[in-house]
Protein backbone atom coordinates (compact mmCIF):
# COMPACT_ATOMS: atom_id res chain seq x y z
CA UNK A 1 0.00 0.00 0.00
CA UNK A 2 2.80 2.42 0.87
CA UNK A 3 4.40 1.65 -2.48
CA UNK A 4 1.15 2.47 -4.32
CA UNK A 5 0.86 5.80 -2.48
CA UNK A 6 4.48 6.64 -3.21
CA UNK A 7 4.16 5.83 -6.90
CA UNK A 8 0.98 7.89 -7.28
CA UNK A 9 2.59 10.85 -5.54
CA UNK A 10 5.56 10.64 -7.89
CA UNK A 11 3.43 10.20 -10.98
CA UNK A 12 -0.32 10.93 -10.64
CA UNK A 13 -0.83 9.93 -14.31
CA UNK A 14 -0.41 6.30 -13.22
CA UNK A 15 -4.00 6.49 -11.98
CA UNK A 16 -5.12 6.57 -15.63
CA UNK A 17 -2.36 4.36 -17.07
CA UNK A 18 -3.27 1.09 -18.76
CA UNK A 19 -1.48 -2.17 -19.34
CA UNK A 20 -1.34 -4.00 -22.69
CA UNK A 21 -4.89 -5.31 -22.13
CA UNK A 22 -6.28 -1.89 -21.31
CA UNK A 23 -6.56 -2.57 -17.58
CA UNK A 24 -6.19 0.32 -15.16
CA UNK A 25 -4.69 -0.03 -11.69
CA UNK A 26 -8.23 -0.10 -10.30
CA UNK A 27 -9.27 -3.06 -12.45
CA UNK A 28 -6.07 -4.93 -11.62
CA UNK A 29 -6.49 -4.29 -7.89
CA UNK A 30 -10.12 -5.45 -8.11
CA UNK A 31 -9.11 -8.60 -10.00
CA UNK A 32 -6.51 -9.40 -7.32
CA UNK A 33 -8.93 -8.63 -4.46
CA UNK A 34 -6.63 -5.91 -3.09
CA UNK A 35 -9.37 -4.13 -1.13
CA UNK A 36 -7.13 -1.52 0.51
CA UNK A 37 -5.57 -0.59 -2.82
CA UNK A 38 -9.05 -0.39 -4.39
CA UNK A 39 -10.14 1.97 -1.60
CA UNK A 40 -7.02 4.07 -2.01
CA UNK A 41 -7.40 4.32 -5.80
CA UNK A 42 -11.05 5.33 -5.45
CA UNK A 43 -10.07 7.96 -2.87
CA UNK A 44 -7.65 9.29 -5.50
CA UNK A 45 -10.58 9.51 -7.96
CA UNK A 46 -9.79 6.48 -10.12
CA UNK A 47 -12.55 6.18 -12.69
CA UNK A 48 -14.76 3.20 -11.86
CA UNK A 49 -16.33 3.42 -15.33
CA UNK A 50 -13.08 3.00 -17.31
CA UNK A 51 -13.40 0.12 -19.76
CA UNK A 52 -10.63 -2.27 -20.77
CA UNK A 53 -10.10 -3.79 -24.24
CA UNK A 54 -12.99 -6.21 -23.60
CA UNK A 55 -15.33 -3.37 -22.64
CA UNK A 56 -15.21 -4.41 -18.98
CA UNK A 57 -15.08 -2.05 -16.01
CA UNK A 58 -13.72 -2.83 -12.53
CA UNK A 59 -17.32 -3.62 -11.55
CA UNK A 60 -17.48 -6.33 -14.22
CA UNK A 61 -14.21 -7.77 -12.94
CA UNK A 62 -15.50 -7.86 -9.37
CA UNK A 63 -18.72 -9.60 -10.39
CA UNK A 64 -16.98 -12.12 -12.65
CA UNK A 65 -14.39 -13.07 -10.05
CA UNK A 66 -16.82 -13.01 -7.11
CA UNK A 67 -14.09 -11.54 -4.94
CA UNK A 68 -14.97 -8.06 -3.89
CA UNK A 69 -18.25 -6.19 -3.97
CA UNK A 70 -17.98 -2.73 -5.43
CA UNK A 71 -21.30 -1.07 -6.03
CA UNK A 72 -21.82 2.38 -7.40
CA UNK A 73 -24.00 4.47 -5.09
CA UNK A 74 -24.61 7.25 -7.58
CA UNK A 75 -23.04 8.84 -10.62
CA UNK A 76 -20.17 10.14 -8.49
CA UNK A 77 -17.16 8.22 -7.33
CA UNK A 78 -18.71 7.07 -4.04
CA UNK A 79 -18.74 3.30 -3.77
CA UNK A 80 -19.54 0.68 -1.19
CA UNK A 81 -16.91 -2.03 -0.83
CA UNK A 82 -17.35 -5.28 1.01
CA UNK A 83 -15.54 -8.61 1.06
CA UNK A 84 -17.56 -11.58 -0.02
CA UNK A 85 -18.90 -13.28 -3.09
CA UNK A 86 -21.24 -11.44 -5.39
CA UNK A 87 -22.55 -14.50 -7.13
CA UNK A 88 -24.09 -17.53 -5.49
CA UNK A 89 -22.90 -20.71 -7.15
Domain ranges of the chain: 2-83
- Top-confidence residue, 32 or 18: 18
pLDDT band at 14 (very low <50, low <70, confident <90, very high): very high
> Rounded CA gap, 17 and 84, in Å?
28
Architecture of domain 2-83: Alpha Horseshoe (1.25)
Instruction: State mean pLDDT over 62-80.
Output: 57
pLDDT at 18 over 50: yes
- What's the pLDDT tens digit per position in 22-62? 999 999 998 888 888 988 998 888 988 899 999 998 888 87
Q: What pTM value is reported for the model?
A: 0.72
Cβ density class 43-57: b for 16+ within 10 Å, e for less: ebebebebebeeebb
Q: Half-sphere exposure of residue 45, counting CA atoms within 13 Å on the CB side?
A: 3
Q: Given this model, what pLDDT does residue 61 score?
A: 84
- Provide the pairing of β-strand 68-72 with 79-83: antiparallel
> Rounded CA gap, 64 and 67, in Å?
8
Question: Which phi and psi (to 5°) does residue 20 adopt?
Answer: -65, -15
| Cβ neighbours, 10 Å, residue 23 | 21
Amino acid sequence: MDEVSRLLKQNPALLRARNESGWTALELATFNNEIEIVRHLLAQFANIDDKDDRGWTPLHEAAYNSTVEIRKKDEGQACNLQFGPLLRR
